[in-house]
A and B are shown apart, each in its own frame.
Chain A
Amino acid sequence: MEIQIPQKFRDRYGPLVENPEEFFSSLLSRSPKSFRVNTLKSSPKEVKERMESYGFPIKQMEWYPDAFVSENPYVGSTLEHFMGYIYMQELASMLPPLILKPELIKAESVLDACAAPGSKTTQLAAMMQNRGVIIANDSDYGRIKALKFNLEKCGVLNTIVTNFDLRFLPKNFSMQFPLILLDAPCSSEGTIRKNPLLLSRWSEGDILSRAGLQRKLILKAYELLSPGGTLVYSTCTFAPEENESVVSHLLESADAKAQEANIPGLKCSKGIEEFRGMKYHSDVRKSLRVWPHHNGTEGFFLAKIRKRP
């Protein structure tokens, strides 16, 4: 079945990119297989040597030496995969923990608010080298099994898995965190390359309904942040209603301060300040947009926000 990009989708996102046709055609091409080396169990050097010994051409990412791309479809059938030395993960989904790198080095606790299936949690744990503690929360009990499986397979020791809806936390959950990752549930437009069928059920109504939940989640996450703490808000979608608009909502209703986010070596654009007549808080331009046609990854949005000390 040939997948078509809906006209409404084209009208919506064409004006946001400098080369719309390149953007749309990138959505219809498959993204390459990528993986991250799990440094709790192995090292990029070791994995690189092993993959080369199997005759697999792999490419190490300059912006993140733990990240690799391989065109070989058998990466998942290697002993390294069985051992949990590598974790199959889309490149863009490695970004949220990465922009927290300076803060993670000294962090004693981190909340991964929407953690399942654990790609970013296992990455956080590896970056923390199993020190400190991660609260890996997910509201969907059905997805906790996959989260547990991945944490154990990767040799993660510093997590406590919880199953709360962030909006309705029980009284005994009275902690505050210096670092919070809110990788919010979203309309996932950025993953169209992996799952083109998303386009067939794409609707603007879906975007708006998710935006409502995301606004509640970001305010709640901010509440859980300790003074001086850092919150990363991310989605794998293009819709400004789910991205800049949500961040703007927080910046306007709390004493939150947007931080400049960047990934040296990766081509990103700034957050947009206006969309279809809606003007956002001017600091949303400090956020990052990752477009699929720029780096060959999926689409992503990231914002880094600090609570005043």
Chain B
Amino acid sequence: MNQKDILRYFEERFGISKKLFADHKLYSDQKGRVFLGPKVAAAGDIAVFIGMQTARIENGSSKLAKPTSMRIRPSTNFFQLFGKHATKNFISLSKEQAQAYAKGEDIELTQPTGSTEGYVLLKYLDYPLGCGLLKNGNVKNVLPKERRMKVEFL
């Protein structure tokens, strides 16, 4: 899986066009993380970190996963910045669900969403909150621990 696959995934799954990233450059590291950062030659030589992490390439959920089961997990920060351009595979949450998401809780859905299983963008009103994993009709919370907080005003 390479950087082109990541761009194709954003476009195919969420309708987020690669044109949005034309002024920046994708970088990847050995842990399968992909970053969007400035276009600078030799940046990798001096950097401990470049730009913003957009996604991580995962080995599915099973330890026995074969390379074919690799999947891409968009980052919450990526969604918060570019999620407003998403046209599909997003789920709109109620106020209570948005608060639960910000706290790190999983979300039980009461009705079908029109999204296919896999990673989805979670929204509240116009706010692209972040990423969740849609599976068996529920959303598993993948918000990084350090971003979790009690949101009292929304």
Binding site for B on A (CB under 8 A): 40-41, 54, 56, 74, 77-79, 81-84, 130-134, 144, 148-149, 151-153, 155-164, 170, 172-173
Contact count A vs B, C-beta below 8 Å? 98
Q: B42 at interface (Cβ–Cβ under 8 A)?
A: yes
Query: B47 to A160, Cβ gap below 8 A?
Result: yes
Query: A153 to B37, Cβ gap below 8 A?
Result: no
Q: How far is the CA of A125 from the CA of B57 in the complex (A)?
A: 27
Query: A79 to B124, Cβ gap below 8 A?
Result: yes
7 closest pairs, A vs B, by CB? A79-B154, A155-B81, A133-B38, A161-B49, A77-B152, A78-B153, A54-B153
Q: Could you list 28 examples of A-B contacts with CB < 8 Å? A: A77-B153, A78-B152, A78-B153, A78-B154, A79-B124, A79-B153, A81-B149, A82-B102, A82-B129, A130-B23, A133-B39, A144-B48, A149-B146, A152-B75, A153-B77, A153-B147, A155-B81, A156-B52, A157-B36, A157-B38, A158-B37, A160-B37, A160-B38, A160-B43, A160-B51, A161-B48, A162-B48, A172-B42
Q: A79-B154, A82-B102, A84-B80 are in contact. Are A148 and B49 (CB under 8 A)?
A: yes
Q: Size of chain B's interface in residues, with CB distance under 8 A?
A: 35
Query: B46 to A159, Cβ gap below 8 A?
Result: no
- Residues from chain B with a CB closer than 8 A to the CB of A162 are 46-48
Residue among B52, B75, B98, B150 with most chain A CB within 10 A? B52
Nearest CB in chain A: distance from B4 CB, A: 19
- Residues from chain B with a CB closer than 8 A to the CB of A163 are 48
Q: How far is the CA of A83 from the CA of B75 in the complex (A)?
A: 13
Q: How far is the CA of A159 from the CA of B35 in the complex (A)?
A: 11
Query: B46 to A173, Cβ gap below 8 A?
Result: yes
Query: B52 to A160, Cβ gap below 8 A?
Result: no
Q: How far is the CA of A84 from the CA of B77 in the complex (A)?
A: 9
Q: How far is the CA of A74 from the CA of B39 in the complex (A)?
A: 39
Q: How far is the CA of A56 from the CA of B51 in the complex (A)?
A: 34
